Amino acid sequence: MESLISKEYKNDFVNTFTGDESGDLKPRQTPGVLYSKAVPTPVKKPTLLAWSAELANQLGIQKPSTQQEIDVLGGNRIADTMLPYAACYAGHQFGHWAGQLGDGRAITLGEWETAEGKVWELQLKGAGPTPYSRRADGRAVLRSSVREYLMSEAMHYLGVPTTRALSLVTTGDKVLRDMFYNGNAAHEPGAIVMRVAPSFLRFGNFEMLNARKETDNLRKLLDWTIARYYPHIQGEDKVLDWFKEVVDRTASLMVEWQRVGFVHGVMNTDNMSVLGLTIDYGPYSFLDDYDPNFTPNTTDLPGRRYAFGKQPSIAYWNLGCLAGALLPVVDKDQLLEALETYKEIYWAKYYAMMGNKLGLDEIGEADISLITQFEEILASIKPDMTIFYQLLIDLPLYMETEQEVADYFKASLYNDLTPEESELLYRLVTTYLDRLNKNTIKREASQQLMRKTNPRFILRNYLLHQAIEELESGENQLFLKLQEAIKDPYSKNFDAFFETRPGWASQKAGCSMLSCSS
């Protein structure tokens, strides 16, 4: 285990590419460079609130035992070999080209190499302004930092590709935020998350270089990215082959989001990882009641571009933007052909995943019809997605009446079923039971498959809201319980949280809807 202070950090990105080394934090355009030097701005009193011990052990990082080490996590101290910077990238936001964006409140400190030779970027979110902060302060509040810290780790334990979170510190400072952009700004406690990933490269990094017609920089970034993160890809067509793999990884990520009911909330191209990771946790949510049209982001209303059911198609659209950025170095027709493979890849992976959720031995044409029936009827009756699929695992193999079926799923319902909905659910269950009886695998094997695929615990927004309120009042019991629960989402060990969203949380700010500042 090594200390955050004494570690000799690598800085391959900074040493490979041209950057603005002035250290000037004034917001500005930075053509010709891939990053700008940005040293974190000190805060009043960094205090360690949370530490991901399992991740630290994986990386070989010693838990901070001195204030000097905690100061690194809070941006008040930089290790001698760190070369902190903010990356320059662009993006399409809500379907529109936004031009230069960049790390507005994230600062990468350096690259940590493990004993096994793997390299991870360490990044502080909320450590102060950068040249890409535009009109913002580069800070983060406790509310958004708790959400990012817990959800990063929750997604990891769910088995969803994601960036990670190593630490959460409070800063001792107050930060002014208008949570819903409605003129009701208030001061909130500040905090900083240390994020960890092999890379934070986004679609937008490549879009920026193409938009500025910096083709040499584009080629250089592509060569570096492929050699570093896709070393198995070589040859004259390596950029095309790389894009094909990004398409595949992105399709896989969307399937995982749909599996657990995760809604990102702001799927701009600058929030899409070229490694196929979930990145940038802002106004996210898990589904409570099953609603394909649900978006947790107030900024996404009324169009609901990034709603749960639209995420796979938005990923395809975003991949199209990445393909456009590669046009200077790859043939257009080849890129389009590679892009079009997304649909086949996604649906193959999606139906296989849904087969696992339903405990099916294999997927045939009739099963695709059954899966569609599940989607349509769940969207109609809107049961709690997580609880419904948990109840489905132990569904009795023989159910005779509509009332029997309705009573069995009652714990997952937010509203009483109408006669029409009761009939729909009964027909669905009857069809499903007929299919289960044709399984070539034993019932126990089918149930085991379902238990591995369907989480029993999800990090619901109302739980996060309650934990944040407690932390702001000096209590941390719920926060500590959630830290443990996220590590074991497929067991019954945390069934104290196995219940539908309470009625009071349906309209409460921070529980039902959030904004991009959340």
* Residues forming a β-bridge with 141: 190
**Please, is 497 exposed, middle or buried when counting C-beta atoms within 10 Å of its C-beta (0-12, 13-18, 19+)?**
middle
- How far apart are alpha carbons 369 and 435 in whole angstroms? 12
Does residue 270 carry a catalytic annotation?
Answer: yes
Specify which residues 124 forms β-bridges with.
107, 194
Active-site residue, from 20, 71, 103, 270: 270
What is the rounded distance in angstroms from the CA atom of residue 315 to the CA atom of residue 254? 8
- The strand pair at 186-197 and 119-125 is best described as antiparallel
323 close to 335: Cβ distance less than 8 angstroms: yes
Rounded Cα distance, 326 and 301, in Å: 31
Which residue in 165, 132, 152, 153 sits closest to 38, CA to CA?
Answer: 132
d(C-alpha 335, C-alpha 85), whole Å: 32
Inter-axis angle of helices 477-485 and 461-472, nearest 10: 140
Region of 383 (left: φ > 0; alpha: ψ -120 to 50; beta: rest) is: beta
* E strand or H helix at 122: strand 119-125
- Neighbour tally for 387: CB within 10 Å: 20
In contact, 261 and 230? CB cutoff 8 Å: no
The CA-atom distances, in angstroms, between 195 and each of 12, 190, 265, 326 are 18, 16, 19, 28
The strand pairing partners of 371, in sequence order, are: none
Rg (the chain; Cα; Å):
24
Residue 384 to residues 109, 397, 407, 463, Cα–Cα distance (Å): 41, 22, 15, 15
Cα diameter, the chain: 74
Q: Which SS3 state, helix, strand or coil, does residue 181 take? A: coil
User: What does the DSSP 8-state code read for residue 418?
Assistant: P
Provide CB contacts within 8 A for 503, sequence distance 6+: none
Residue 490 phi/psi, 5-degree rounding, is: -105, 5
Q: Give the C-alpha separation, 151 to 282, whole Å.
A: 10
CB 210 within 8 A of CB 325: yes
Question: Any idea which residue has 């070393």 for tokens?
Answer: 231
Q: Which residues are catalytic?
A: 270
